Structure 1
Amino acid sequence: MITQAMIFAAGEGKRMRPLTLKTPKPLLKVAGKPLIVWHLEKLAAKKIKTVVINTSHLGEQLPLALGQGERWQLDIQYSAEATPLETGGGLLQALNLLKPEPLLLINGDIWCSHLPELDLPENKLARLFLVPNPEHHPKGDFYFNPSTQTLSNQPGADATAMTFSGISLLDPRCLTKEHLTSAYEQLPEKGQAFPLAPLLRSLVDQQLADGQAYNGDWVDVGTPLRLDQLNGYLA
Protein backbone atom coordinates (compact mmCIF):
# COMPACT_ATOMS: atom_id res chain seq x y z
CA MET A 1 0.00 0.00 0.00
CA ILE A 2 1.44 3.35 -1.06
CA THR A 3 1.32 5.91 1.76
CA GLN A 4 3.64 8.65 0.52
CA ALA A 5 3.58 11.16 -2.32
CA MET A 6 5.62 13.97 -3.80
CA ILE A 7 4.17 17.03 -5.51
CA PHE A 8 6.47 18.86 -7.93
CA ALA A 9 5.87 22.53 -7.16
CA ALA A 10 9.21 24.26 -7.76
CA GLY A 11 8.77 25.49 -11.33
CA GLU A 12 8.98 29.17 -12.22
CA GLY A 13 5.66 29.16 -14.09
CA LYS A 14 7.03 31.21 -16.99
CA ARG A 15 4.18 30.31 -19.33
CA MET A 16 1.69 31.46 -16.69
CA ARG A 17 3.10 34.97 -16.38
CA PRO A 18 2.07 37.58 -15.31
CA LEU A 19 0.00 35.52 -12.82
CA THR A 20 3.11 33.84 -11.41
CA LEU A 21 5.18 36.98 -10.91
CA LYS A 22 3.87 37.23 -7.35
CA THR A 23 2.22 33.84 -6.80
CA PRO A 24 3.73 30.37 -7.32
CA LYS A 25 1.71 28.42 -9.87
CA PRO A 26 0.47 25.74 -7.38
CA LEU A 27 -1.21 28.48 -5.33
CA LEU A 28 -3.18 29.94 -8.25
CA LYS A 29 -6.90 29.58 -7.58
CA VAL A 30 -8.99 26.96 -9.34
CA ALA A 31 -12.71 27.22 -8.55
CA GLY A 32 -11.90 29.26 -5.46
CA LYS A 33 -9.07 27.23 -3.93
CA PRO A 34 -5.38 26.81 -4.72
CA LEU A 35 -4.55 24.24 -7.38
CA ILE A 36 -2.31 22.31 -4.99
CA VAL A 37 -5.12 22.03 -2.41
CA TRP A 38 -7.10 19.96 -4.91
CA HIS A 39 -4.16 17.53 -4.88
CA LEU A 40 -3.89 17.48 -1.09
CA GLU A 41 -7.59 16.71 -0.67
CA LYS A 42 -7.35 13.81 -3.11
CA LEU A 43 -4.17 12.49 -1.48
CA ALA A 44 -5.86 12.51 1.92
CA ALA A 45 -8.84 10.63 0.45
CA LYS A 46 -6.39 7.98 -0.81
CA LYS A 47 -5.03 7.48 2.73
CA ILE A 48 -1.67 9.00 1.85
CA LYS A 49 0.15 9.91 5.07
CA THR A 50 3.30 11.80 4.01
CA VAL A 51 3.51 14.41 1.26
CA VAL A 52 6.77 16.02 0.18
CA ILE A 53 6.50 19.28 -1.76
CA ASN A 54 9.56 20.72 -3.47
CA THR A 55 9.70 24.52 -3.59
CA SER A 56 11.80 27.18 -5.27
CA HIS A 57 10.15 30.10 -7.11
CA LEU A 58 8.36 32.13 -4.41
CA GLY A 59 8.62 28.91 -2.42
CA GLU A 60 8.27 30.56 0.98
CA GLN A 61 4.59 31.12 0.20
CA LEU A 62 3.75 27.40 0.14
CA PRO A 63 4.49 26.58 3.82
CA LEU A 64 2.68 29.77 4.84
CA ALA A 65 -0.41 28.74 2.87
CA LEU A 66 -0.42 25.00 3.60
CA GLY A 67 1.35 24.58 6.94
CA GLN A 68 2.33 21.05 7.89
CA GLY A 69 -0.85 19.51 6.51
CA GLU A 70 -2.87 19.20 9.71
CA ARG A 71 -6.12 20.36 8.13
CA TRP A 72 -5.98 17.40 5.72
CA GLN A 73 -4.53 14.96 8.25
CA LEU A 74 -1.34 14.85 6.20
CA ASP A 75 2.29 15.20 7.21
CA ILE A 76 3.67 17.75 4.72
CA GLN A 77 7.43 18.09 4.36
CA TYR A 78 9.11 20.72 2.20
CA SER A 79 12.23 20.30 0.07
CA ALA A 80 13.53 23.79 -0.66
CA GLU A 81 15.64 24.34 -3.78
CA ALA A 82 17.82 27.44 -4.19
CA THR A 83 17.16 27.19 -7.92
CA PRO A 84 14.66 24.82 -9.57
CA LEU A 85 16.16 21.33 -9.95
CA GLU A 86 13.53 20.01 -12.40
CA THR A 87 11.70 16.78 -11.68
CA GLY A 88 14.67 14.42 -11.51
CA GLY A 89 16.89 16.69 -9.48
CA GLY A 90 14.00 17.63 -7.21
CA LEU A 91 13.17 14.00 -6.49
CA LEU A 92 16.80 13.09 -5.86
CA GLN A 93 17.21 15.93 -3.36
CA ALA A 94 13.98 15.01 -1.55
CA LEU A 95 14.84 11.33 -1.09
CA ASN A 96 15.95 11.87 2.50
CA LEU A 97 12.38 12.96 3.34
CA LEU A 98 10.87 9.80 1.85
CA LYS A 99 10.80 6.17 2.91
CA PRO A 100 12.63 3.65 0.66
CA GLU A 101 9.34 2.37 -0.72
CA PRO A 102 7.09 3.19 -3.71
CA LEU A 103 5.46 6.61 -3.88
CA LEU A 104 3.02 8.61 -5.95
CA LEU A 105 4.47 11.48 -7.99
CA ILE A 106 2.23 14.24 -9.26
CA ASN A 107 2.97 17.48 -11.09
CA GLY A 108 1.78 20.54 -9.21
CA ASP A 109 0.52 22.24 -12.37
CA ILE A 110 -2.11 19.72 -13.44
CA TRP A 111 -5.72 19.31 -12.34
CA CYS A 112 -7.47 15.94 -12.27
CA SER A 113 -10.91 14.83 -11.16
CA HIS A 114 -9.58 11.94 -9.07
CA LEU A 115 -6.44 9.95 -8.39
CA PRO A 116 -6.06 6.47 -9.89
CA GLU A 117 -5.55 3.26 -7.95
CA LEU A 118 -2.15 3.28 -6.30
CA ASP A 119 -1.05 -0.19 -7.33
CA LEU A 120 2.50 -0.76 -8.56
CA PRO A 121 3.21 -4.34 -9.71
CA GLU A 122 6.11 -6.02 -7.92
CA ASN A 123 7.99 -6.58 -11.17
CA LYS A 124 7.85 -2.91 -12.19
CA LEU A 125 9.72 0.15 -10.99
CA ALA A 126 7.26 2.66 -12.44
CA ARG A 127 3.69 3.00 -13.64
CA LEU A 128 2.78 6.00 -15.80
CA PHE A 129 -0.77 7.25 -16.18
CA LEU A 130 -1.63 8.40 -19.68
CA VAL A 131 -4.25 10.66 -21.23
CA PRO A 132 -5.38 11.29 -24.82
CA ASN A 133 -3.15 13.82 -26.53
CA PRO A 134 -4.39 17.37 -25.86
CA GLU A 135 -4.40 20.00 -28.61
CA HIS A 136 -1.22 21.61 -27.30
CA HIS A 137 0.67 18.26 -27.31
CA PRO A 138 -0.67 16.35 -30.34
CA LYS A 139 2.21 13.86 -30.76
CA GLY A 140 2.08 12.51 -27.21
CA ASP A 141 4.95 11.08 -25.17
CA PHE A 142 4.70 7.28 -25.27
CA TYR A 143 3.06 4.52 -27.28
CA PHE A 144 0.59 2.52 -25.21
CA ASN A 145 -1.06 -0.84 -25.76
CA PRO A 146 -4.16 -0.83 -23.51
CA SER A 147 -4.75 -4.58 -23.72
CA THR A 148 -1.33 -5.40 -22.29
CA GLN A 149 -0.62 -2.08 -20.51
CA THR A 150 2.78 -2.07 -22.17
CA LEU A 151 4.62 1.14 -23.04
CA SER A 152 7.10 1.87 -25.79
CA ASN A 153 9.18 4.81 -26.90
CA GLN A 154 8.64 3.77 -30.53
CA PRO A 155 5.43 3.24 -32.53
CA GLY A 156 4.24 -0.33 -32.90
CA ALA A 157 1.27 -2.52 -33.69
CA ASP A 158 -1.76 -2.08 -31.43
CA ALA A 159 -0.08 0.89 -29.69
CA THR A 160 -1.50 4.41 -29.55
CA ALA A 161 0.44 7.61 -28.96
CA MET A 162 -0.65 9.08 -25.61
CA THR A 163 0.47 11.85 -23.30
CA PHE A 164 2.03 11.36 -19.88
CA SER A 165 -0.39 12.89 -17.38
CA GLY A 166 2.22 13.95 -14.84
CA ILE A 167 0.90 11.28 -12.46
CA SER A 168 3.05 8.22 -11.80
CA LEU A 169 3.99 5.57 -9.29
CA LEU A 170 7.70 5.12 -8.73
CA ASP A 171 9.86 2.72 -6.78
CA PRO A 172 12.99 4.55 -5.45
CA ARG A 173 15.03 1.48 -6.45
CA CYS A 174 15.09 3.01 -9.94
CA LEU A 175 17.32 5.79 -8.57
CA THR A 176 20.33 3.51 -8.12
CA LYS A 177 23.67 4.37 -9.69
CA GLU A 178 23.12 1.72 -12.38
CA HIS A 179 19.72 2.99 -13.51
CA LEU A 180 20.70 6.66 -13.39
CA THR A 181 23.94 6.10 -15.31
CA SER A 182 22.09 4.05 -17.91
CA ALA A 183 19.54 6.84 -18.42
CA TYR A 184 21.87 9.86 -18.35
CA GLU A 185 25.24 8.34 -19.41
CA GLN A 186 26.75 9.89 -16.29
CA LEU A 187 25.65 9.87 -12.68
CA PRO A 188 23.62 12.99 -11.78
CA GLU A 189 24.72 14.51 -8.51
CA LYS A 190 22.49 15.68 -5.69
CA GLY A 191 21.74 19.36 -6.21
CA GLN A 192 22.02 19.06 -9.99
CA ALA A 193 19.04 20.00 -12.15
CA PHE A 194 17.84 17.26 -14.50
CA PRO A 195 14.48 16.00 -15.81
CA LEU A 196 12.95 12.67 -14.85
CA ALA A 197 11.87 11.89 -18.42
CA PRO A 198 15.11 10.16 -19.58
CA LEU A 199 14.96 7.81 -16.59
CA LEU A 200 11.33 6.97 -17.32
CA ARG A 201 12.17 6.30 -20.97
CA SER A 202 15.05 4.06 -19.92
CA LEU A 203 12.74 2.08 -17.63
CA VAL A 204 10.25 1.75 -20.50
CA ASP A 205 12.99 0.39 -22.78
CA GLN A 206 13.90 -2.17 -20.09
CA GLN A 207 10.23 -3.12 -19.61
CA LEU A 208 10.49 -1.99 -16.00
CA ALA A 209 7.68 0.54 -16.43
CA ASP A 210 4.12 -0.05 -17.56
CA GLY A 211 1.21 2.25 -18.30
CA GLN A 212 -2.42 2.76 -17.48
CA ALA A 213 -4.98 4.99 -19.16
CA TYR A 214 -6.27 7.68 -16.82
CA ASN A 215 -10.06 7.59 -16.99
CA GLY A 216 -11.00 10.90 -15.37
CA ASP A 217 -11.00 14.58 -16.31
CA TRP A 218 -7.50 16.01 -16.64
CA VAL A 219 -6.07 19.42 -17.49
CA ASP A 220 -2.50 20.64 -17.89
CA VAL A 221 -2.95 24.06 -16.27
CA GLY A 222 0.03 25.55 -18.05
CA THR A 223 -1.20 28.89 -19.36
CA PRO A 224 -3.63 31.63 -18.25
CA LEU A 225 -6.00 30.56 -21.03
CA ARG A 226 -6.17 26.95 -19.81
CA LEU A 227 -6.61 28.18 -16.24
CA ASP A 228 -9.56 30.32 -17.36
CA GLN A 229 -11.03 27.38 -19.30
CA LEU A 230 -10.73 25.10 -16.25
CA ASN A 231 -12.40 27.65 -14.01
CA GLY A 232 -15.21 27.98 -16.53
CA TYR A 233 -15.61 24.20 -16.71
CA LEU A 234 -15.75 23.80 -12.93
CA ALA A 235 -18.16 26.70 -12.57
Structure 2
Amino acid sequence: MPQAPSPQADASAPALAQAMILAAGRGQRMRPLTDHTPKPLLMVRGQPLLAWHLAAMASAGIDCVLINTGWLGEQIPARLGSHFVPANAGHPGAPQPAPAAVQLRYSREDLDFGGGIETAGGIARALPQLQKVFWLIAGDVYAPQFRFDPQARARFAASDALAHLWLVPNPPHHRRGDFLLERGLARPLPEPANASDAQPGPPHCRHYTYSTIALLKQALFAPPWCELPRGNPEGQAAALGPLLQRAARAGRVSASLYHGDWTDVGTPQRLAALNQPPA
Protein backbone atom coordinates (compact mmCIF):
# COMPACT_ATOMS: atom_id res chain seq x y z
CA MET A 1 0.00 0.00 0.00
CA PRO A 2 1.42 3.43 -0.89
CA GLN A 3 2.67 5.47 2.03
CA ALA A 4 2.42 9.19 2.62
CA PRO A 5 5.00 11.22 0.71
CA SER A 6 7.85 12.25 2.98
CA PRO A 7 7.91 15.96 3.80
CA GLN A 8 11.12 17.82 3.01
CA ALA A 9 13.05 18.22 6.22
CA ASP A 10 16.39 19.84 5.38
CA ALA A 11 17.99 22.40 3.13
CA SER A 12 19.23 19.74 0.70
CA ALA A 13 15.71 18.45 0.05
CA PRO A 14 13.77 19.55 -3.03
CA ALA A 15 11.92 22.85 -2.78
CA LEU A 16 8.28 22.78 -1.82
CA ALA A 17 5.93 23.63 -4.67
CA GLN A 18 4.27 27.06 -4.70
CA ALA A 19 1.40 25.93 -6.92
CA MET A 20 -0.56 22.81 -7.84
CA ILE A 21 -2.28 22.04 -11.14
CA LEU A 22 -5.08 19.47 -11.03
CA ALA A 23 -4.59 17.16 -14.00
CA ALA A 24 -5.80 13.72 -12.91
CA GLY A 25 -9.38 13.64 -14.20
CA ARG A 26 -10.78 11.30 -16.85
CA GLY A 27 -12.46 13.99 -18.94
CA GLN A 28 -15.57 11.95 -19.75
CA ARG A 29 -17.40 14.84 -21.43
CA MET A 30 -14.40 15.43 -23.69
CA ARG A 31 -14.47 11.94 -25.16
CA PRO A 32 -13.42 10.71 -27.68
CA LEU A 33 -10.57 13.27 -27.55
CA THR A 34 -9.56 12.12 -24.07
CA ASP A 35 -9.61 8.42 -24.90
CA HIS A 36 -5.95 8.74 -25.88
CA THR A 37 -4.86 12.14 -24.52
CA PRO A 38 -5.30 13.53 -20.99
CA LYS A 39 -7.42 16.67 -21.14
CA PRO A 40 -4.70 19.06 -19.85
CA LEU A 41 -2.53 18.09 -22.85
CA LEU A 42 -5.16 18.97 -25.44
CA MET A 43 -3.99 21.76 -27.71
CA VAL A 44 -5.46 25.26 -27.33
CA ARG A 45 -4.23 27.95 -29.70
CA GLY A 46 -0.99 26.19 -30.46
CA GLN A 47 0.05 24.75 -27.11
CA PRO A 48 -1.23 22.32 -24.46
CA LEU A 49 -3.65 23.71 -21.89
CA LEU A 50 -1.07 23.05 -19.17
CA ALA A 51 1.48 25.24 -20.93
CA TRP A 52 -0.74 28.32 -20.60
CA HIS A 53 -0.81 27.92 -16.81
CA LEU A 54 2.90 27.20 -16.52
CA ALA A 55 3.86 30.20 -18.64
CA ALA A 56 1.74 32.50 -16.45
CA MET A 57 3.26 31.02 -13.31
CA ALA A 58 6.78 31.46 -14.67
CA SER A 59 6.03 35.11 -15.45
CA ALA A 60 4.93 35.59 -11.83
CA GLY A 61 8.17 34.16 -10.46
CA ILE A 62 6.77 30.79 -9.41
CA ASP A 63 9.64 28.36 -9.82
CA CYS A 64 8.25 25.04 -8.56
CA VAL A 65 4.88 23.55 -9.56
CA LEU A 66 3.31 20.22 -8.64
CA ILE A 67 1.01 18.43 -11.10
CA ASN A 68 -1.12 15.47 -10.05
CA THR A 69 -1.76 12.78 -12.65
CA GLY A 70 -4.39 10.10 -13.01
CA TRP A 71 -5.94 9.19 -16.35
CA LEU A 72 -3.18 8.46 -18.90
CA GLY A 73 -0.92 9.98 -16.28
CA GLU A 74 2.33 8.80 -17.80
CA GLN A 75 1.82 11.12 -20.77
CA ILE A 76 2.11 14.34 -18.75
CA PRO A 77 5.64 13.88 -17.34
CA ALA A 78 6.67 12.31 -20.65
CA ARG A 79 5.53 15.47 -22.44
CA LEU A 80 6.66 18.12 -19.94
CA GLY A 81 9.66 16.51 -18.26
CA SER A 82 11.21 17.90 -15.09
CA HIS A 83 11.27 21.59 -16.10
CA PHE A 84 9.11 23.95 -18.10
CA VAL A 85 10.83 26.68 -20.11
CA PRO A 86 8.48 29.41 -21.40
CA ALA A 87 8.30 29.35 -25.19
CA ASN A 88 9.52 32.94 -25.59
CA ALA A 89 12.41 32.72 -23.11
CA GLY A 90 15.53 34.01 -24.80
CA HIS A 91 13.69 35.21 -27.90
CA PRO A 92 14.05 38.79 -29.18
CA GLY A 93 11.31 40.89 -27.64
CA ALA A 94 10.81 38.53 -24.69
CA PRO A 95 10.49 40.13 -21.24
CA GLN A 96 13.81 41.00 -19.62
CA PRO A 97 14.88 39.24 -17.58
CA ALA A 98 13.20 36.24 -19.16
CA PRO A 99 11.19 34.01 -16.78
CA ALA A 100 13.28 31.23 -15.31
CA ALA A 101 12.51 27.59 -15.98
CA VAL A 102 9.86 26.15 -13.69
CA GLN A 103 10.72 22.96 -11.82
CA LEU A 104 7.96 20.38 -12.24
CA ARG A 105 7.07 17.76 -9.68
CA TYR A 106 4.42 15.08 -9.99
CA SER A 107 1.99 13.34 -7.67
CA ARG A 108 1.39 10.09 -9.55
CA GLU A 109 -2.04 8.96 -8.44
CA ASP A 110 -2.13 6.67 -11.47
CA LEU A 111 0.89 4.76 -10.17
CA ASP A 112 0.01 4.93 -6.47
CA PHE A 113 -3.71 4.15 -6.65
CA GLY A 114 -4.53 3.16 -10.21
CA GLY A 115 -6.22 6.46 -11.05
CA GLY A 116 -7.28 9.86 -9.80
CA ILE A 117 -8.61 10.32 -6.27
CA GLU A 118 -10.65 13.48 -6.93
CA THR A 119 -9.70 17.04 -6.09
CA ALA A 120 -9.46 17.14 -2.29
CA GLY A 121 -8.07 13.61 -2.24
CA GLY A 122 -5.35 14.62 -4.67
CA ILE A 123 -4.51 17.81 -2.81
CA ALA A 124 -4.32 15.98 0.53
CA ARG A 125 -1.99 13.47 -1.10
CA ALA A 126 0.27 16.27 -2.32
CA LEU A 127 0.36 18.37 0.88
CA PRO A 128 3.84 17.22 2.02
CA GLN A 129 5.21 18.55 -1.28
CA LEU A 130 3.41 21.93 -1.12
CA GLN A 131 4.08 25.17 0.71
CA LYS A 132 1.74 26.09 3.55
CA VAL A 133 0.10 28.64 1.22
CA PHE A 134 -0.19 27.57 -2.41
CA TRP A 135 -1.91 28.38 -5.67
CA LEU A 136 -4.39 25.95 -7.19
CA ILE A 137 -5.81 25.77 -10.70
CA ALA A 138 -7.50 23.05 -12.70
CA GLY A 139 -5.62 21.82 -15.74
CA ASP A 140 -8.71 22.01 -17.95
CA VAL A 141 -9.55 25.72 -17.78
CA TYR A 142 -8.27 28.40 -20.12
CA ALA A 143 -7.51 31.72 -18.42
CA PRO A 144 -4.57 33.22 -20.32
CA GLN A 145 -4.76 36.66 -18.70
CA PHE A 146 -4.80 35.50 -15.10
CA ARG A 147 -1.87 36.79 -13.07
CA PHE A 148 -0.54 34.76 -10.16
CA ASP A 149 0.09 37.92 -8.18
CA PRO A 150 2.67 37.61 -5.35
CA GLN A 151 1.00 40.50 -3.52
CA ALA A 152 -2.35 38.70 -3.58
CA ARG A 153 -0.62 35.68 -2.07
CA ALA A 154 0.96 37.81 0.66
CA ARG A 155 -2.37 39.45 1.55
CA PHE A 156 -4.06 36.07 1.72
CA ALA A 157 -1.29 34.57 3.84
CA ALA A 158 -1.73 37.39 6.38
CA SER A 159 -5.52 36.93 6.57
CA ASP A 160 -7.56 34.44 8.57
CA ALA A 161 -9.17 33.03 5.42
CA LEU A 162 -8.53 29.39 4.57
CA ALA A 163 -9.13 29.92 0.86
CA HIS A 164 -9.34 32.79 -1.60
CA LEU A 165 -11.32 32.03 -4.74
CA TRP A 166 -11.47 33.79 -8.07
CA LEU A 167 -15.07 33.80 -9.28
CA VAL A 168 -16.32 34.39 -12.82
CA PRO A 169 -19.70 35.31 -14.34
CA ASN A 170 -21.82 32.20 -14.74
CA PRO A 171 -21.30 30.50 -18.12
CA PRO A 172 -24.33 29.19 -20.06
CA HIS A 173 -23.70 25.61 -18.93
CA HIS A 174 -23.61 26.58 -15.23
CA ARG A 175 -26.24 29.28 -14.85
CA ARG A 176 -26.83 28.89 -11.12
CA GLY A 177 -23.18 29.34 -10.18
CA ASP A 178 -21.39 28.10 -7.07
CA PHE A 179 -21.18 30.97 -4.57
CA LEU A 180 -22.60 34.33 -3.60
CA LEU A 181 -20.07 37.15 -3.40
CA GLU A 182 -20.78 39.34 -0.38
CA ARG A 183 -18.37 41.99 0.88
CA GLY A 184 -15.30 40.12 -0.27
CA LEU A 185 -16.45 36.75 1.04
CA ALA A 186 -17.70 33.71 -0.85
CA ARG A 187 -20.97 32.52 0.65
CA PRO A 188 -22.88 29.28 -0.08
CA LEU A 189 -25.84 29.63 -2.40
CA PRO A 190 -29.28 29.32 -0.80
CA GLU A 191 -31.14 26.16 -1.67
CA PRO A 192 -33.59 26.83 -4.53
CA ALA A 193 -37.22 26.82 -3.43
CA ASN A 194 -38.28 25.57 -6.84
CA ALA A 195 -36.85 24.87 -10.27
CA SER A 196 -37.17 28.48 -11.43
CA ASP A 197 -34.91 29.62 -8.59
CA ALA A 198 -32.06 27.64 -10.12
CA GLN A 199 -31.57 30.44 -12.65
CA PRO A 200 -29.50 33.39 -11.41
CA GLY A 201 -31.70 36.06 -13.00
CA PRO A 202 -30.27 39.34 -14.30
CA PRO A 203 -26.59 39.77 -15.17
CA HIS A 204 -25.90 41.85 -12.04
CA CYS A 205 -26.92 38.95 -9.78
CA ARG A 206 -24.32 38.09 -7.16
CA HIS A 207 -24.24 34.38 -7.96
CA TYR A 208 -20.89 33.46 -9.51
CA THR A 209 -19.01 30.39 -10.67
CA TYR A 210 -15.78 29.21 -9.06
CA SER A 211 -13.11 29.51 -11.76
CA THR A 212 -11.00 26.68 -10.22
CA ILE A 213 -8.30 29.29 -9.50
CA ALA A 214 -7.58 29.72 -5.80
CA LEU A 215 -5.10 30.38 -3.07
CA LEU A 216 -5.32 27.77 -0.33
CA LYS A 217 -3.84 27.15 3.09
CA GLN A 218 -2.93 23.67 4.23
CA ALA A 219 -5.11 24.25 7.29
CA LEU A 220 -8.17 23.78 5.04
CA PHE A 221 -7.17 20.11 4.74
CA ALA A 222 -7.27 19.42 8.47
CA PRO A 223 -10.17 19.00 10.94
CA PRO A 224 -12.80 20.35 11.24
CA TRP A 225 -12.83 21.11 7.52
CA CYS A 226 -11.33 17.87 6.22
CA GLU A 227 -10.94 14.42 7.74
CA LEU A 228 -8.39 13.07 5.27
CA PRO A 229 -4.98 12.36 6.82
CA ARG A 230 -2.09 14.49 5.61
CA GLY A 231 -0.50 12.74 2.64
CA ASN A 232 -3.66 10.63 2.14
CA PRO A 233 -1.70 7.36 2.27
CA GLU A 234 -4.74 5.19 1.51
CA GLY A 235 -5.73 7.26 -1.50
CA GLN A 236 -9.21 8.16 -0.26
CA ALA A 237 -11.20 9.96 -2.93
CA ALA A 238 -12.83 13.24 -1.89
CA ALA A 239 -14.03 16.38 -3.66
CA LEU A 240 -12.86 19.90 -2.86
CA GLY A 241 -16.30 21.49 -3.19
CA PRO A 242 -17.70 20.32 0.18
CA LEU A 243 -14.61 21.62 2.01
CA LEU A 244 -14.96 25.03 0.40
CA GLN A 245 -18.68 25.15 1.18
CA ARG A 246 -18.03 24.20 4.81
CA ALA A 247 -15.38 26.90 5.22
CA ALA A 248 -17.56 29.43 3.36
CA ARG A 249 -20.42 28.85 5.81
CA ALA A 250 -17.98 29.78 8.58
CA GLY A 251 -16.90 32.97 6.79
CA ARG A 252 -13.40 31.65 6.10
CA VAL A 253 -13.38 31.90 2.28
CA SER A 254 -12.62 35.23 0.65
CA ALA A 255 -13.15 35.86 -3.05
CA SER A 256 -12.52 38.21 -5.96
CA LEU A 257 -14.11 38.58 -9.37
CA TYR A 258 -11.98 37.69 -12.39
CA HIS A 259 -13.02 39.51 -15.56
CA GLY A 260 -10.42 38.16 -18.00
CA ASP A 261 -10.94 35.49 -20.63
CA TRP A 262 -11.98 32.23 -19.00
CA THR A 263 -13.29 28.97 -20.42
CA ASP A 264 -14.03 25.65 -18.77
CA VAL A 265 -12.71 23.49 -21.61
CA GLY A 266 -15.07 20.67 -20.75
CA THR A 267 -16.46 19.55 -24.11
CA PRO A 268 -15.17 19.11 -27.68
CA GLN A 269 -17.43 21.99 -28.73
CA ARG A 270 -15.84 24.44 -26.28
CA LEU A 271 -12.37 23.32 -27.34
CA ALA A 272 -13.26 23.80 -31.00
CA ALA A 273 -14.64 27.27 -30.27
CA LEU A 274 -11.38 28.30 -28.60
CA ASN A 275 -9.40 27.07 -31.58
CA GLN A 276 -11.48 28.91 -34.15
CA PRO A 277 -9.39 31.45 -36.11
CA PRO A 278 -10.21 35.07 -35.22
CA ALA A 279 -12.94 36.54 -37.40
**Is 2:35 the partner of 1:39?**
no
1:217: how far off?
A: 0.6
Q: What SS does the aligned partner of 1:5 have?
A: strand
TM-score of the two chains, using structure 1 as the length reference: 0.89
1:134: how far off?
A: 0.3
Q: What SS does the aligned partner of 2:85 have?
A: helix
TM-score of the two chains, using structure 2 as the length reference: 0.76
1:95: how far off?
A: 1.1
Q: 1:208 to 1:233 in 2, by over 3 A?
A: farther
CA RMSD of aligned residues (A): 2.1
Q: What SS does the aligned partner of 1:11 have?
A: coil
Residue 162 (structure 2) aligns with: 125
Q: 1:154 to 1:20 in 2, by over 3 A?
A: closer
**Is 2:69 the partner of 1:55?**
yes
Distance, in Å, in 1 between the alignment partners of 2:205 and 2:265 is 27
> Is 1:6–1:52's contact at 8 Å kept on the other side of the alignment?
yes
> Is 1:8–1:53's contact at 8 Å kept on the other side of the alignment?
yes
**Is 2:104 the partner of 1:76?**
yes
Residue 138 (structure 1) aligns with: 175
1:159: how far off?
A: 6.6
Distance, in Å, in 1 between the alignment partners of 2:26 and 2:265 is 14
**Is 2:136 the partner of 1:108?**
no
**Is 2:36 the partner of 1:9?**
no
Aligned residues, how many? 225
Distance, in Å, in 2 between the alignment partners of 1:129 and 1:223 is 22
Query: More deviation in 10-19 or 70-79?
Result: 70-79
Q: Which amino acid aligns with 2:177?
A: G
Q: Which amino acid aligns with 2:257?
A: A
Structure number with bigger Rg:
2
Residue 177 (structure 1) aligns with: 223
Distance, in Å, in 1 between the alignment partners of 2:229 and 2:76 is 31
- Percent identity between matched residues is 42
Distance, in Å, in 1 between the alignment partners of 2:175 and 2:127 is 33
Q: Deviations over 1:12-56 (max 9, x none)?
A: 111001101111101100011111101110110111121000001
Q: How does 1:182-197 map to 2 (within 5 A)?
A: 189-190=232-233, 191-197=235-241
Q: How does 1:149-164 map to 2 (within 5 A)?
A: 149-155=184-190, 160-164=206-210
Distance, in Å, in 1 between the alignment partners of 2:221 and 2:144 is 30
Residue 270 (structure 2) aligns with: 226
Q: Deviations over 1:101-153 (max 9, x none)?
A: 210000000000222433315221110100000000000000113xx212211
Q: 1:187 to 1:227 in 2, by over 3 A?
A: same
Q: Which amino acid aligns with 1:132?
A: P
Distance, in Å, in 2 between the alignment partners of 1:166 and 1:20 is 20
**Is 2:247 the partner of 1:215?**
no
> Is 1:31–1:234's contact at 8 Å kept on the other side of the alignment?
no
Q: Structure 1 stretches of 5 or more lacking a match?
A: none
1:161: how far off?
A: 0.6
Q: Which amino acid aligns with 1:86?
A: E
> Is 1:144–1:162's contact at 8 Å kept on the other side of the alignment?
yes
